[in-house]
């Protein structure tokens, strides 16, 4: 009954106000983040628990959001097992020796607790700091297809040509790759919950590059196995991808508690397709103007969200780096004041 509104909305329960948080809230647009971060690699910042804890808490203090998300990255477990990942500023994850053949399967060993001690140490620190306000921490991982797209392509891509060639040319090898990623992802997520994360988000950011047939064959089964692998933990799970309008009915069968809706789909239509609690879906670009423009855009989303239970307000993808924090502060206020979904 007294659970935080974020957890209640995830479970489709009534809330005192509509909860809100922002994907990529930790970092990016915050000047206090840039001041702390300096110019080192993001992977070094993630490896420093005191620093990563502080970056996780900055947006909670600044925005008054209803959940924290761990300052980490979807490539962290693969960096931790020595796959050879770097994150290049302004570009994203780059792999020195991309996954191309069965010989590369041996480079994807199981994740052990010690490999990610820096992550679980950060979770410990954050959970302690959030105890007083009872703000839940969201743990996360990349979904197998999206992680595979980085490991196989070797760098961010627009056309997904290398991974699509691999999956169609050698589906058995692709299957074995996904098996490795499922095991690593389940271990990574379970560790975060064991240390106090109270919800989990699975980022299948690039699932929208797939057709429905491809999604059903090459992405959904592995995602289902990841979600089944954490189901006994009893924490709500959120599955999110970009450009997934045509995939939402399939994604809603993956087993997550909540389905993330990106901004291409009107939220009322997204709710129909998801048929479960949803998270979303303000276009991050509509937060690049002044606060009044951001608030007007947020009101459009609130109108589409309606009054039924089961809405977690968020952007339709991550905060854009040039966003003025004052706009996000104003969005939080209007969601809390005017959101009606499940408010009793």
Residues within the interface to ligand CP3 (CB under 6 A)? 23-28, 37, 42, 69, 71-74, 87, 89-93, 140, 156, 203, 205, 318
Nearest approach in angstroms of CB 50 to ligand CP3 is 17
Q: Which of 337, 336, 327, 335 is nearest to 62 (CA)?
A: 327
Nearer to ligand CP3, 99 or 203 (CB): 203
Nearest approach in angstroms of CB 105 to ligand CP3 is 22
Integer distance in angstroms from the first to the last C-alpha of the chain? 13
Nearest approach in angstroms of CB 301 to ligand CP3 is 19
Q: Where are the alpha helices (DSSP H) in the chain?
A: 5-10, 31-37, 42-46, 49-63, 76-80, 117-130, 144-153, 161-169, 171-194, 212-214, 220-228, 248-251, 267-274, 291-305, 325-338
For residues 298 and 144, give the distance between their C-alpha atoms in angstroms, rounded to a whole number. Answer: 31
Nearest approach in angstroms of CB 303 to ligand CP3 is 26
Nearer to ligand CP3, 72 or 257 (CB): 72
- Residue 70, φ and ψ in degrees, nearest 5: -60, 135
For residues 212 and 250, give the distance between their C-alpha atoms in angstroms, rounded to a whole number. Answer: 8
Tokens (6 digits) for 330: 């104003």
Nearer to ligand CP3, 19 or 342 (CB): 19
Q: Which residues are catalytic?
A: 24, 28, 37, 73, 150
Nearer to ligand CP3, 87 or 247 (CB): 87
């Amino acid at each position: 009954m007294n659970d935080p509104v974020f957890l209640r909305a995830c479970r489709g329960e009534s809330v005192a106000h509509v909860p809100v948080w922002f994907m990529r809230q930790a970092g990016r647009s915050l000047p206090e983040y840039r001041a702390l971060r300096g110019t080192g690699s993001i992977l070094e910042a993630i490896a420093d628990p005191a620093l990563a804890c502080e970056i996780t808490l900055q947006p909670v203090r600044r925005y008054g959001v209803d959940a924290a998300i761990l300052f980490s990255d979807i490539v962290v477990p693969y960096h931790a097992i020595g796959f050879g990942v770097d994150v290049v500023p302004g570009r994203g994850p780059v792999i020195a020796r991309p996954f191309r053949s069965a010989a590369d399967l041996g480079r994807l060993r199981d994740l052990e607790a010690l490999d990610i001690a820096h992550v679980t140490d950060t979770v410990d620190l954050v959970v302690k700091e959030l105890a007083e306000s009872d703000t839940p921490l969201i743990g996360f991982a990349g979904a197998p297809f999206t992680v595979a797209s980085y490991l196989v392509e070797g760098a961010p891509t627009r056309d997904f040509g290398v991974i699509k060639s691999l999956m169609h040319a050698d589906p058995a090898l692709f299957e074995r790759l996904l098996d490795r990623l499922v095991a690593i992802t389940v271990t990574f997520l379970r560790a975060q919950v064991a240390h106090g994360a109270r919800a989990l988000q699975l980022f299948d950011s690039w699932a929208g590059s797939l057709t429905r047939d491809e999604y059903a064959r090459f992405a959904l089964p592995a995602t289902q196995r990841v979600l089944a692998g954490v189901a006994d933990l009893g924490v709500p799970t959120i599955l999110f991808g970009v450009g997934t309008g045509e995939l939402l009915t399939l994604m809603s069968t993956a087993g997550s508690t909540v389905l993330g809706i990106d901004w291409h789909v009107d939220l009322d239509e997204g709710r129909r397709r998801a048929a479960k609690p949803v998270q979303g879906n303000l276009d991050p670009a509509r937060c690049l103007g002044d606060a009044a423009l951001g608030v007007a855009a947020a009101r459009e989303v609130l109108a589409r969200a309606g009054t039924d239970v089961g809405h977690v307000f968020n952007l339709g993808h991550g905060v854009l780096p040039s966003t003025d924090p004052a706009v996000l502060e104003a969005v939080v206020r209007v969601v809390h004041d005017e959101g009606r979904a499940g408010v009793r």
